[in-house]
Amino acid sequence: MVGTIEPHVVDAAADASRRFASLRAEHKRLASLFDQLDLNGNGTLEPHELKSNIERFGEENLANDLMAVIDANNDGVVSFKEFVEGFQAYEARRLQTLFHVMDGDKSNTVDDDELEAALKQRFHFTGRMLKKLLKELDIDGDGEVSPLEYVEKVSAAKTKGIFECCSSGKPADVLAIYALLESGEANRDSANESGMTPLMVASSSDNAAAVAVLVEAQAEVEAVDQYIQTALHKAATQDSYRVISVLLNASRASIGGQQLVYVDGRDEQSAFDGEWYRIDGEWTVSDEEASMLNRLDQFGKSALHYAAENNYVNSAMALLVAGADPSTESSKGANAAQVASEKKKADVADLLARWCDATAYPTGQTDIRRAYKALLDKHSK
């Protein structure tokens, strides 16, 4: 008669299986990285090969530091075994550096308040995401995250690669994106088989936190894919209004620090950290901003056209408040209101009417700005 397996034995077996799968993925990742660095293909790394990959590691001092760490026997070359052992130690040290930045009280653990202080404003983590992140990272369930827990989870997430991390929506994967870019293992503007950059993938996945990480890394906001679509087009097709907010702010910053400015005599406001959605006053929109907001893709549609045809009120609201022109015509000669009417999208049609018809709706634009501010405030919690 077969005995009953105790629950703790089942849990231990599951944990061992998970760790083994993670180790296999990590070994595969490091083998790929080693092959990329081994320029002459002789199975070892020499200093000149690391220095030829300075862009991957960010700066020359970083390449020298890495060589010092991974060349265990100091013979001037690095075997694959040395590379695996040394790079893992080096990577853990770098990840822990980021961990200690979040560890505000220097207790060598990170709690929910410290996660919020470090990530909420910088990377647009919502309260819900922060709670989920703490649960993901807190392996032993004690309510705090240790350096080892942090390194284990983020290292495991990195094995997925930047594109999967951008599409997943898991909070730990957002930190993995940061780590991949920081270490040079991923290119912020690389393209996948569909011609989409990481920023486009994150935007089409409604992953505002990943978008914020990529924007901070200066990913190209106005890059286009094979359909001449930008990340803004991708966000508008998914009703990703929070992503739209991050993208628009980043695009303004890329145009020589251009910021939205009032024309009614009030003081200028900062673009996103201030109230760029301020309720009173009108905005002036530069030619560069207008070009980005109203750009037509291969199908002859702007971001606002996509929001209109899908009845995405929140995305349409974000675009209008930022200065998108509702009179912009598609390649078929239809503006956003006409598209909404043709597709029988009553909610967006009503929004556009309130925005455009000052006679019938004298407070329409002010009301919409107020509604959008309330929407952003609500979803930042």
Position 207 in a domain: no
Quick check: is 125 in a domain? Answer: yes
Cβ-Cβ contacts under 8 Å for 97 (sequence gap 6 or more): none
Intervals of the chain under pLDDT 70: 1-27, 29-30, 50-72, 87-88, 90-98, 251-285, 379-381
283-284 and 261-262 strand pairing: antiparallel
The answer to whether 281 and 269 are in contact (CB under 8 A) is no
State the Cα–Cα distance between residues 177 and 375, nearest whole angstrom.
27
pLDDT at 202: 97
Closest Cα to residue 297, out of 217, 362, 235, 210? 235
pLDDT of residue 278: 41
Which CATH number covers residue 71?
Answer: 1.10.238.10
Residue 225 domain-assigned? no
Residues 92 and 107 in one domain: no
Q: Is residue 364 part of a domain?
A: yes
SS3 label, residue 10: helix
Beta-ladder partners of 295: none
Task: Please check whether residues 247 and 361 belong to one and the same domain.
Answer: yes
Give the C-alpha separation, 197 to 20, whole Å. Answer: 31
Q: Which region holds residue 258: left if phi is over 0, alpha if psi is between -120 and 50, else beta?
A: beta
**Statement: the pTM of the whole predicted model exceeds 0.85:** no
Determine the 3-state secondary structure of 40 from DSSP.
coil
Domain boundaries, position 115: 103-196
- In the prediction, which pLDDT does 281 show? 47
Q: Are 374 and 235 members of one domain?
A: yes
Do 124 and 90 lie in a common domain?
no
For residues 117 and 91, membership in a common domain is answered with: no
303 by DSSP, 3-state: which?
helix
Give yes or no: residues 258 and 351 share one domain. Answer: yes
Helix (H, G, I), strand (E, B) or coil at 50: helix
How many angstroms separate the CA atoms of 28 and 172, rounded? Answer: 20
Evaluate whether residue 226 is within a structural domain.
Answer: no
pLDDT in tens, 119-156: 887 887 888 888 889 998 888 888 888 887 888 888 88
Task: Indicate the burial class of 157 (C-beta count within 10 angstroms; 0-12, 13-18, 19 or more).
Answer: buried
**Residue 215 · residue 247 · CB < 8 Å:** yes
pLDDT in the model for residue 312: 96
Q: How many domains does the chain have?
A: 3
SS3 content of the chain, % helix, strand, coil (to 5): 60, 0, 40
- Residue 224 placed within a domain: no
CA dihedral 71, 45, 177, 134 (to 10 degrees): -30
Note whether 51 and 130 are same-domain residues.
no
Structure tokens belonging to residue 271:
């673009």
Torsion of CA 158, 162, 164, 169, to 10 degrees: 80
Residue 139 lies inside a defined structural domain of this protein: yes
- Non-local CB neighbours of 373 within 8 Å, separated by 6+ positions: 275, 277, 279
φ/ψ region of 220 (left if φ > 0, alpha if ψ in -120 to 50, else beta) reads: beta
Asked whether 146 and 108 are in contact (CB, 8 A), the reply is yes
Query: Rounded CA gap, 375 and 363, in Å?
Result: 18
Note whether 372 and 235 are same-domain residues. Answer: yes
Q: 154 with 181: CB under 8 angstroms?
A: no
Residues 245 and 372 placed together within one structural domain of the fold: yes
pLDDT at 262: 32
